[in-house]
Every structure is written in C-alpha cells, then in structure tokens.
Amino acid sequence: MRVITYGTFDLFHDGHRRLLERAKALGDHLTVGVTTENYDDSRGKLNVRQSLMERIRNVQDSGLADEVIIEEYEGQKVQDIQKHGIDIFAIGSDWLGKFDYLSDYCEVVYLERTKGVSSTQLRNETSGVIRLGVIGAGRIAARFVAEARYVSGISVEAVYSRRFASAQAFADRLELQRATPELSELLGSVDAIYIASPHGSHYDYACQAIEAGVHVLCEKPMSLTRAQTADLFDRAAAKGVVLLEAIKTAFAPGFQRMVAIARSGSIGQIRSVDATFTKLVDSGRELEGPDGGSISELATYPLLAVVKLLGTDFTGVRTQSLRPEGSEVEVFSRIDLTYPQAIASARTGIGVKAEGELIVAGSHGYVHVPAPWWLTEYFETRFENSSQNKKYYYKFDGDGLRYELAEFAQLIRSENRESFKLRAAESIAIAEIIERARADAEHFG
C-alpha cells in the first residue's frame, strides 16, 4: 500500500514525527509532500521560519519518508495521487472533512492529532515552538484554535475556563492536550496565553498571567477603562513580557496598506473618518449588563480606524445611544470625536443594522472601504477627477485571527515588546474613548 501525506514541517518536532509514524504504519511506502513558501503564502500559512530545503531535510532526517516531493500549487494533490499510484491519503484530524473530495482517487484517512508537543521536540532560543494556552471556551476561542494551525511554531496545548466541564469539552472537541481546573496550572505550563473570556474578566486574568511571566494576547476590548489598560501595559513592561490586544483588523495586510496610503498624503490631509460596524444579536452576553452593549462589543474596531488614521490626541468625545425600554444595554451608538483639524464618527449596533463601510475623507480625495471594512480585502482611493481613482486588492484569510497570532509570536521571538501595527498608546486611547462613551452617552429610546 502506498501512502501520501503533506505538510510544511517547519521547526520539526515530535508532533510531526508521530504523525509521519502513523501515516507510514498505514502502508509499506510513504511519500511526503513539503509545501513551498509561495504555496504556504497562498493558503494563508504565516510565520514559516525555515527555508524549503531545511524543511525537506527535516523530513528526510526523520528516516520515515521513502520519497519526498514538493507541493507547489492548489489542486496538486489530485495529480500527485494519480501520478504516484497512491492508495491512502493521510492527514491530521484537525483537517477533518477538508479533503473528502480526494476519496474519488484513494482512501482518505484522518489521523488523530498529536495532543501537545513533547519536551523532546527540537528547540532553540530564537525559533522554538511557543506553547500557548487559552482562557475561555466560547466561540471566539474555538475559532482561534482553528486559526492557530496556520501560524508556524505555535502549539495550542491547554484551556482553562471557570467551568471546568466546559473547558474539558472544549479540549476534547478541539483535540487539545488538556483542560486545567486551576488557572495557576495553565500559567505554569505555557509560554503565552490567549484571553477570550467575557470583557469584564480580561483585566484580572491578564494581571495574573503577567505576574507569572507569561506573554498575553488579550481579546478586545483589553479592558473597559483607560486606567486598567494602562496598568496592564505598565505591568507587562516591568515583567518583560509581550502584551498585545487582539484586534485582528490591525494586523491584516489590507488594513495596514489602507492606513499607509491614507496617511501618505495621497488624499491630502485627512479631515474626517467615518466607520460603522453593526450586527444583529438576539440573545447572549452582548445584551446583558453591566458589560454588554454595542459599544463594549464592537466599538474597538471603528475606533481602531480612527486612532490609526488620526492619532490618539483627540480633544472631545460625544456619544448618543439607543437603549430601548426594558433593555439592560444600549443597542446602537454613535461616538463623535473631535481632533485639532479633523472629526471622526464611530457607529456601532447590535440591535440596528447599517452599512458597514469606512470612509476616510481628505483635502484632495477620499478612501472608500466597503463593508465589511474590518475584513479589509479591497479599497479605493477616489478623486474629483475619476480618472485618478485607484483600486487595491489584498488577501484576508480565514477569520483573520491568524494575523494577530502571527504578530504576537513574532514579538515574542524577536524579544520586542511593541508592534507598530498596534501600539500600547493606541490601545489605551481606545479604552479611554470606550470608557467615556459608555459613561457619558446621551440615551434615547
């Protein structure tokens, strides 16, 4: 029986070895496909550390591959299976269902994922695998774990939740190594954590992690007050750990390029930023006090656009919010900000639906980013003379969580404490605006 499997095989570790061992045990000849840099890029794989030749040597040195081939493009698997007379296609179970279409050509076997990476894995100080834990067992945490497989050198190993049963079910479903009943146990076994718990718990969890010397990637909003957010960055600096707010848009290639173009002077001086983010919510924590509402749930995104384009030196904040009779929280808000020579408006809604676009108005022209602008794949610069208009297209892979995780991992490895893509001062400014907007809103409805 001839077996084939594929992978990047970056920073080759025991998880890779054990997968190849299980694949080889299915037959008497194992062919291993190693992906090229260009193919990894096209499928959204980030932070690959080693060259193609180094990764091929990783596989060859394992002694498990009878033949090594190079995977260069989408659809190649169909041709490889037929060309090499393959009987069984084997792949990790985290890709369950993804390759069912290959069953027309051979048997498809999903191998149980290796839970965690052994302490005997190959490591060094600059390119070792980062052991990551998750706090929270909800929807965003599940999406994060799925996205993490696209970031090389990351091993999501454990999860903690206040309800251990939820954490255990999460670990079983997503094939993590373990669920921990105590937060201290999680913090003592990982290099970094991702906080995906309810908003009001972020600060306490982040404090405990930082105190334990663990790097922190914290879901937005990092906290609901300026003081708490600033305190977390002070604590992280004192302990020498990375603290990053998980606003995925900030790290997406298209959004970064849009900000660069808008601030380059191509549309003149920026005079106005208008950003909208709404979604309809029928039930859940978003509609429950005291931490729910459209501002706490969604304002981080439009405010990100505002501070990246206009800076953090705003001079005024005025908010109007709709809170229907009987509702614990506001369901639609408009936050208006003033700057010395510009204005901005951020609209959020969980009970009102509006066009989710971003308009950056300048003295020479404007930038239009269509809905959903926070998943920036396309934008235009537009001018009085329409012949000068330009269109820009960029990739936005998956849910986008891989971009924030890739940046987080890069900061840890490079021993940098701050990313230009989202600076501490910008997270602190966003927290201040959210705090003021929630406290001082003029309510109607």
Residues 256 and 324 reside in one and the same domain: yes
CA distance 413 to 407: 10
CA distance 247 to 262: 20
Residues 285 and 386 reside in one and the same domain: yes
Residues 265 and 382 reside in one and the same domain: yes
Q: What would the pLDDT profile of 18-33 be if each residue is shown by its tens digit? A: 899 999 999 999 999 9
User: Does residue 129 or residue 209 have the better pLDDT?
Assistant: 209
Is the sign of the CA dihedral 129, 196, 225, 299 positive or negative?
positive
360 domain-assigned: yes
Q: What is the CATH number of the domain that holds 285?
A: 3.30.360.10
- Look at strands 215-219 and 192-195 and give their pairing: parallel
> Is there a contact between 248 and 404 (Cβ–Cβ < 8 Å)?
yes
Residues 289 and 426 reside in one and the same domain: yes
pLDDT band, very low/low/confident/very high, at 117 (cuts 50, 70, 90): very low
Q: Quote the pLDDT of residue 87.
A: 95
Token digits for 257?
Answer: 């390029």
The number of domains in the chain is 3
CA distance 286 to 210: 27
pLDDT for 93 beyond 90: no
Number of other CB atoms surrounding residue 297 within 10 Å: 25
Instruction: Supply the range of the domain harboring residue 149.
Output: 130-247
Helix axes 226-239, 202-211, angle to 10 degrees: 10
Side-chain half-sphere exposure of 200, counting CA atoms within 13 A: 8
9 domain-assigned: yes
Q: What is the CATH number of the domain that holds 80?
A: 3.40.50.620
CA distance 190 to 134: 10
Q: What is the CATH number of the domain that holds 162?
A: 3.40.50.720
What's the predicted TM-score (pTM) here?
A: 0.82
For residue 104, what are the contacts with CB-CB under 8 A and spacing of at least 6? Answer: none
Residues 173 and 212 reside in one and the same domain: yes
80 domain-assigned: yes
> For residue 17, which amino acid is it?
R
Q: What would the pLDDT profile of 358-377 be if each residue is shown by its tens digit? A: 999 999 999 999 999 999 99
> Among residues of the chain, what percentage have pLDDT more than 70?
97
HEC assignment per residue over 315-346: CEEEEEEECCCCCCCCCEEEEEEEECCEEEEE
386 domain-assigned: yes
Count of residues in the chain = 445
Q: Quote the pLDDT of residue 123.
A: 39
118 domain-assigned: no
Q: Quote the pLDDT of residue 39.
A: 84
**DSSP codes, 355-374:** ---EEEEESSEEEEE-SSGG
410 domain-assigned: no
Among 223, 247, 271, the domain boundary falls at: 247
CA distance 400 to 131: 21
191 domain-assigned: yes
CA distance 107 to 276: 48
Distance of CA 95 to the CA centre of its chain: 19
3-state secondary structure of 104: helix
> Is there a contact between 444 and 186 (Cβ–Cβ < 8 Å)?
no
pLDDT for 311 beyond 80: yes
Q: Report which of 134, 50, 140 is spatially closest to residue 400, judged by C-alpha positions.
A: 140
For residue 185, what are the contacts with CB-CB under 8 A and spacing of at least 6? Answer: 160
Residues 265 and 395 reside in one and the same domain: yes
CA distance 249 to 289: 27
404 domain-assigned: no
What value does the mean pLDDT take over residues 292-316?
A: 97
Residues 243 and 198 reside in one and the same domain: yes
pLDDT for 167 beyond 90: yes
Q: What would the pLDDT profile of 43-78 be if each residue is shown by its tens digit? A: 788 888 888 899 999 999 999 999 999 999 888 999
Residues 264 and 233 reside in one and the same domain: no
Residues 373 and 384 reside in one and the same domain: yes
Among 232, 247, 262, the domain boundary falls at: 247
> Is there a contact between 171 and 185 (Cβ–Cβ < 8 Å)?
no
3-state secondary structure of 218: strand
> For residue 136, which amino acid is it?
G
DSSP E strands, 196-255: 215-219, 243-246
Q: Report which of 30, 24, 31 is spatially closest to residue 70, judged by C-alpha positions.
A: 31
Q: Quote the pLDDT of residue 114.
A: 57
Residues 103 and 225 reside in one and the same domain: no
Residues 267 and 387 reside in one and the same domain: yes
Going by the DSSP 8-state scheme, the letter that residue 288 receives in this structure is S
Among 76, 111, 146, the domain boundary falls at: 111
Q: Report which of 129, 126, 414 is spatially closest to residue 244, judged by C-alpha positions.
A: 414
* Helix, strand, coil percent values for the chain (each to nearest 5): 40, 25, 35
Residues 232 and 261 reside in one and the same domain: no
